[in-house]
Amino acid sequence: MSETLEGQRTIIGLGLLLAVLVLGYGAVVSETVLGVDATTAAMWVLAGTFAVSSIVHAWIGQYGFALGHAGGAFGWGAVLLGSSAAEVGIGLILLVLSGVYLALVGRRGARTDAAST
């Protein structure tokens, strides 16, 4: 699991760094990035980060983590594409539930690893 954790940290770290750089660009250089509001672009970067993490976890057979990250990606997408308060609310609920699920799956994995050593 430690190799997977390192890969996940790298994906999330790079995604977060890119999102911060997009926000910084929006604050310093131009309010838009390729015609899109910098904040919105940064949120799409985070959605993409969750999607990539989900694909990598599915690829290596960790379907619990893949499901949690896919839920996060869909949640961000619903928030960003939502045209009503209900749609955005569903996205936010999906984000929270995915986060709780990932925390529980991660904690269970950590306990399993600790018990096997």
Dump pLDDT digits (tens) for 25-49: 999 998 988 889 999 999 999 999 9
Burial label for 85, CB within 10 Å (0-12, 13-18, 19+), is exposed
In whole angstroms, give the CA distance from residue 7 to residue 20: 20
In tens, the pLDDT along 82-109 reads: 999 999 999 999 999 999 999 998 877 6
How large is the average pLDDT for residues 14-23?
94
Please give the pLDDT value at position 44: 95
pTM for the whole thing? 0.80
